[in-house]
């Protein structure tokens, strides 16, 4: 039996300013210095750490934010001098999709690669839109398929990228006519993608390539960045090469991984043929923006022999409408595309990679349930390095400006400092993927599914809010949200 796939994580504390949720307010001038002081009794030694921090002349003038909001000190102080408040800086992080909680949990996962475990039940809203309107199913007692995640059976998270023949064909004399399939097998259903907005940091690209090599997956890089990747990591690089640059990048195409990405365009099939001529066993993937008509485009391109597609949604996981406005969430778009390809009869030949809006491990599982073969992590990798998905970056996204340009050079941007230390950045990316991988195994184990390939398009193993609401509450009378007063 081959070795089980295992991601070796290393504890790598973040070097960025960590914004916390709760801040303490302390009216010290009223303190009576009583013998009943609650501060030394803090379970987490928050007050002690804070005092040390405040006395350290080298420490930054910033709060520590270690408080867990247990209220023991607030409620115990003999004079009631302590109180808590929610840190406004925390609430300002990210946006409505990349919420402060998502950013915070990603930081923690990138620290040590551990699954976030906590006490007490779920704390969030009942449901949301997009991925938050899906629950994954689980297997109760009657499906004898597995032995739990801590048991003997191996849960495979490997996926194959590349054109897969539906059947083998043989000549009358018994020779196999079907050309052998050249697949790229990666041990976890994630590839590391370029950031969703233009971050011109070659160091970041190099870190992505190094992380991909350690993980056994691949990293997507612009060709100009890929040229700087050391030879040892080049085998894990998927360069994005434009059709007109193919000849110029011939060495890169030959030496990088077997997958090459070509941006979608009118002459894409000719460009793909050119790549295959340079490197016969290459896997050409078409990188395309997810749009309402993507399913039609996929069917047309599949007819021309292109079988691997990387669908890019916006950072909130939505397709872009014809006028550039956000459209459906990838959950709905993927279900349509997957269903269409199944209807056309060649879904199994195709590989779909989805990126944009994959913010948590659960999104990976849910995107695969909706029909993707694998996903690509983009913004999440930046967040692992301390990115707060700040408004600055969003304005860049909108107007297409360049973070590398001097007017956007923010000395505080954690990405800039992280990109300067390749090993630090790569370790945090590996840690995050390690945590995602473990969480995927948890979900697969709960579902009783032993390999992630079988999860693709398995909508029967998911509970969709729209359907279950109708089933459970369909017979209840409806009332408007506001009571009728007339």
Q: Which residues ranging from 118 to 147 are in contact with another protein (CB under 8 A)?
A: 118-127, 134-142, 144, 147
361 binds another protein (CB under 8 A): yes
**CB-nearer residue toward another protein: 212 or 447:** 447
Taking the complex as a whole, the smallest distance from the CB of residue 432 to another protein amounts, in Å, to 14
The two tokens of residue 143 are 């499906």
Rounded Cα–Cα distance for residues 390 and 379 (Å)? 12
Tokens 């796939």 correspond to what residue? 5
Least distance from another protein to the Cβ atom of residue 23, Å: 9
Interface residue with another protein among 260, 288, 360, 375 (CB under 8 A) is 360
- Kindly state the smallest distance separating residue 126's Cβ from another protein, in Å: 3
User: Residue 161, interface with another protein (CB under 8 A)?
Assistant: no
Residue 151 contacts another protein per CB under 8 A: yes
Residues paired with residue 284 on neighbouring β-strands, in sequence order: 260
Whether residue 108 contacts residue 116, with contact meaning beta carbons closer than 8 Å, is answered with: yes
- Do 201 and 416 meet the contact criterion of CB atoms below 8 Å apart? yes
Rule CB under 8 A: is residue 43 a binding residue for another protein?
yes
Name which of 252, 228, 255 is nearest 241 in CA terms: 252
What is the per-residue binding string for another protein in 254-283, x denoting contact by CB under 8 A?
A: ------------------------------
Which of 5, 18, 72, 289: binder of another protein (CB under 8 A)? 72
Which region, judged by CB under 8 A, interacts with another protein, from 162-170, 334-342, 404-412, 478-486? 478-486
- Judged by CB under 8 A, the number of residues near another protein is 81
Which is nearer to another protein, 60 or 117 (by Cβ)?
117
Positive/negative CA dihedral, 183, 262, 353, 338: negative
As a whole number of angstroms, the distance between CA 9 and CA 153 comes to 22
Contact between 66 and another protein per CB under 8 A: no
Using a 10 angstrom Cβ sphere, with 0-12 exposed, 13-18 middle and 19 or more buried, the burial of residue 283 is buried
Quick one: DSSP state of residue 155?
A: P
Site string for another protein, 411-450 (x = CB under 8 A): ----------------------------x--xx-xxxx--
CA–CA gap between residue 53 and residue 58 (Å, rounded): 9
How far, rounded to the nearest angstrom, does the alpha carbon of residue 3 sit from its chain's CA centroid? Answer: 26
Select 402 or 469, whichever has its Cβ closest to another protein.
469
């Amino acid at each position: 039996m081959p070795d089980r796939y295992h991601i070796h994580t290393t504890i790598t504390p973040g070097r960025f300013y960590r914004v916390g949720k709760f801040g303490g307010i302390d009216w010290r001038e009223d303190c009576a210095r009583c013998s009943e002081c609650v501060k030394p009794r803090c379970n987490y030694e928050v007050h002690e750490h804070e005092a040390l921090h405040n006395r350290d002349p080298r420490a930054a003038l910033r709060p520590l934010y270690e408080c867990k909001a247990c209220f023991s000190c607030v409620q115990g102080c003999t004079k009631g001098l302590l109180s808590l408040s929610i840190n406004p800086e925390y609430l300002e992080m990210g946006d409505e999709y990349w919420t402060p909680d998502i950013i915070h949990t990603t930081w923690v996962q990138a620290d040590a690669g551990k699954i976030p475990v906590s006490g007490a039940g779920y704390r969030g809203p009942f449901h949301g839109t997009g991925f938050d309107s899906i629950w994954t199913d689980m297997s109760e007692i009657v499906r004898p398929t597995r032995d739990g995640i801590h048991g003997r059976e191996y849960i495979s998270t490997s996926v194959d990228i590349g054109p897969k023949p539906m059947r083998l064909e043989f000549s009358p004399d018994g020779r196999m006519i079907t050309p052998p399939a050249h697949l790229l097998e990666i041990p976890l259903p994630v590839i590391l993608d370029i950031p969703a907005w233009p971050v011109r940091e070659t160091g970041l690209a190099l870190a992505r390539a190094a992380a991909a090599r350690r993980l056994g997956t691949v990293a997507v890089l612009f060709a100009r960045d890929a040229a700087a990747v050391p030879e040892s990591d080049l085998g894990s690089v998927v360069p994005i090469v434009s059709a007109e640059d193919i000849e110029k990048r011939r060495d890169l195409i030959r030496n990088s991984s077997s997958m090459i990405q070509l941006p979608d365009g009118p002459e894409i099939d000719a460009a793909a043929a050119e790549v295959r001529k340079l490197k016969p066993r290459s896997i050409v993937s078409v990188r395309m923006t997810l749009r309402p008509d993507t399913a039609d485009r996929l069917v047309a391109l599949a007819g021309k022999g292109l079988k691997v597609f990387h669908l890019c949604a916006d950072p909130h996981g939505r397709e872009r409408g014809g006028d550039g406005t956000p459209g459906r969430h990838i959950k709905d778009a993927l279900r349509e595309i997957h269903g269409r390809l199944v209807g056309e009869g060649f879904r199994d030949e195709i590989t779909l990679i989805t990126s944009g809006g994959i913010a948590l491990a659960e999104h990976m599982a849910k995107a695969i349930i909706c029909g993707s073969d694998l996903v690509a992590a983009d913004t999440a990798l930046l967040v692992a390095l301390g990115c707060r998905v700040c408004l600055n970056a969003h304005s860049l996204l909108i107007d297409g400006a360049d973070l590398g340009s001097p007017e956007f050079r923010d000395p505080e941007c954690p990405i800039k400092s992280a990109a300067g230390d390749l090993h630090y950045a790569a370790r945090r990316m590996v840690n995050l993927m390690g945590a995602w991988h473990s969480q995927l195994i948890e979900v697969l184990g709960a579902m009783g599914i032993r390999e992630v390939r079988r999860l693709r398009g398995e909508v029967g193993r998911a509970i969709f809010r729209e359907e279950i609401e109708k089933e459970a509450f369909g017979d209840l009378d409806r009332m408007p949200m506001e009571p009728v007063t007339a």
